[in-house]
């Protein structure tokens, strides 16, 4: 893999600097040649820190698409602009990695998938939790049939008090929601992927705004402004799949609960179970005895990765670039990410109407 791909990043805020830029800079086959942000200083800073010499800086993504010869775009903007930027990038002949969730709405996500199919360009969504050691190991077990037929999944994304108070996280218009669409999306993606089940039948949801109106509330990121807190503080979904399997989704930024954790899944199958509650544990029955085993993920690598210690974001970036160079499907397929968005939207819809949402 000696070829170098020219990559541009659109949106140079928190997620770009926290994940995409440092990860891409560790991929040998990548040259970061262009940066775009509506706040010019952000793009200038990112270019200085991560760009090649004479990297281009833009405040208008359409100019970037028109004036540069980049081959790959990373979209790291608020949720409401994912679709517009991704579709324009695909139609201009670029491959696109878009930050999660795929889009603010199902309709937008479908348009993104249509654009990828129409243009023949690759589209992937940034669900990096699939690339963690525990996730890769568990996926292997699921594929090998170790858990049997998985009929119950729990998707957990629970924070006791960790409301993000920066950027546009509290802005429903730009984000489309709160913890459900922000971190619940990771837990749901992980659970569907492990179950390899993307056929929802019905969804029932509850959404709460119970703690968001408090002044000077305890919070890991400092007190939030109740006036700005326009999204839910917790949301829950009950998802029935067409084959009868059930998924329970729990998400919160602020809830009175001490057993917390993010991007975790719990699975129950006919041959065994697994959970990520306290490290990765596998349970089952052998020789008429129950057992549970905590997996030591410190030693050795995971299938299709060498034993090198890399974080999930770097693995995600390497895997994505490799998919482009070797012309193979990315690990996170847009069809899968679309189902995540459909379910999230159905939870919000069900909570609003008080009725179950049924899929065709």
pLDDT in tens, 63-83: 999 999 999 999 999 999 999
pLDDT in tens, 3-62: 799 999 999 999 999 999 999 999 999 999 999 999 999 999 999 999 999 999 999 999
Strands 30-36 and 56-58: parallel
The Cα 96–Cα 126 span in angstroms is 10
In the predicted model, what is the mean pLDDT of the chain?
Answer: 95
| Model pLDDT, residue 319 | 97
pLDDT at residue 306 is higher than 70: no
- State what percent of residues in the chain have pLDDT above 90: 94
| Model pLDDT, residue 304 | 44
| Model pLDDT, residue 3 | 79
The predicted model gives 274-303 an average pLDDT of 86
pLDDT at residue 290 is higher than 80: yes
- Going by pLDDT thresholds of 50, 70 and 90, the confidence category of residue 283 is very high
Q: Rg of the Cα trace of the chain?
A: 20
| Model pLDDT, residue 2 | 61
- For the chain, the farthest-separated pair of C-alpha atoms sits apart, in whole angstroms, at 68
- Going by pLDDT thresholds of 50, 70 and 90, the confidence category of residue 186 is very high
* Beta bridge mates, 282: 274, 293
In the chain, where are the structural domains located?
5-126, 132-308+340-358
pLDDT at residue 1 is higher than 90: no
| Model pLDDT, residue 269 | 98
- Going by pLDDT thresholds of 50, 70 and 90, the confidence category of residue 299 is low
| Fold for the domain defined by 132-308+340-358 | Dihydrodipicolinate Reductase; domain 2 (3.30.360)
H helix runs in the chain, sequence order: 14-15, 21-24, 40-50, 61-67, 82-91, 106-119, 133-143, 172-175, 179, 185-195, 312-325, 334-353
Distance of CA 92 to the CA centre of its chain: 25
| Model pLDDT, residue 14 | 94
- Find where tokens 């459900």 sit: 180
Note the CATH number of domain 5-126.
3.40.50.720
- Going by pLDDT thresholds of 50, 70 and 90, the confidence category of residue 209 is very high
C-beta of residue 14 within 8 angstroms of C-beta of residue 40? no
pLDDT at residue 106 is higher than 70: yes
- Going by pLDDT thresholds of 50, 70 and 90, the confidence category of residue 308 is low
The predicted model gives 110-135 an average pLDDT of 97
Q: Could you give the C-alpha distances from 228 to 211, 215, 233, in angstroms and in order?
A: 13, 12, 12
The predicted model gives 179-188 an average pLDDT of 98
Q: What's the first-to-final CA gap in the chain, in angstroms?
A: 43
Q: Six-digit token pair at 199?
A: 């056929």
- Going by pLDDT thresholds of 50, 70 and 90, the confidence category of residue 309 is low
- Between residues 277 and 149, which one has the greater pLDDT? 149
Neighbours of 117 (CB within 10 A): 13
The Cα 148–Cα 10 span in angstroms is 42
């Amino acid at each position: 893999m000696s070829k170098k791909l020219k990559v541009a990043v659109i949106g140079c805020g928190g997620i770009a600097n926290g994940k995409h830029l440092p990860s891409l800079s560790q991929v040998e086959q990548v040259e970061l040649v262009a940066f775009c942000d509506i706040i010019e200083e952000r793009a200038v800073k990112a270019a200085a820190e991560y760009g090649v010499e004479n990297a281009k800086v833009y405040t208008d993504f359409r100019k970037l698409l028109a004036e540069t010869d980049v081959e790959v775009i990373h979209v790291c903007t608020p949720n409401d602009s994912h679709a517009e930027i991704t579709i324009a990038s695909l139609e201009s002949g670029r491959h696109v990695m878009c930050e999660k969730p795929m889009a603010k709405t199902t309709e937008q996500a479908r348009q993104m998938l249509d654009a990828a199919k129409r243009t023949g360009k690759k589209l992937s969504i940034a669900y990096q939790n699939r690339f963690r050691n525990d996730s890769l190991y568990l996926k292997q077990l699921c594929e090998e049939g170790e858990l049997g037929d998985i009929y119950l999944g729990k998707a957990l994304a629970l924070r006791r008090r960790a409301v993000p108070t920066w950027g546009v996280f509290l802005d429903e218009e730009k984000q489309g929601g709160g913890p459900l669409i922000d971190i619940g999306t990771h837990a749901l993606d992980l659970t569907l992927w492990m179950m390899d089940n993307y056929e929802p039948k019905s969804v029932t949801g509850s959404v709460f705004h119970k703690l968001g109106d408090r002044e000077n509330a305890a919070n890991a990121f400092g007190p939030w402004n109740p006036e700005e807190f326009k999204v839910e503080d917790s949301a829950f979904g009950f998802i029935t799949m067409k084959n009868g399997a059930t998924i329970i989704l729990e998400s919160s930024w602020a809830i009175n609960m001490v057993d917390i954790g993010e991007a975790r899944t719990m699975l129950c199958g006919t041959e065994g179970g697994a959970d990520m509650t306290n490290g990765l544990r596998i349970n089952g029955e052998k020789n008429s005895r129950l057992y549970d085993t905590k997996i030591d993920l410190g030693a050795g690598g995971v299938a299709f990765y060498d034993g090198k210690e890399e974080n999930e974001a770097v693995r995600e970036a390497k895997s994505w670039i490799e998919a482009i160079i070797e012309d193979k499907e990315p690990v996170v397929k847009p069809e899968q990410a679309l189902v995540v968005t459909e379910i999230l939207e159905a939870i919000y819809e069900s909570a609003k109407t008080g009725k179950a949402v049924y899929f065709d």
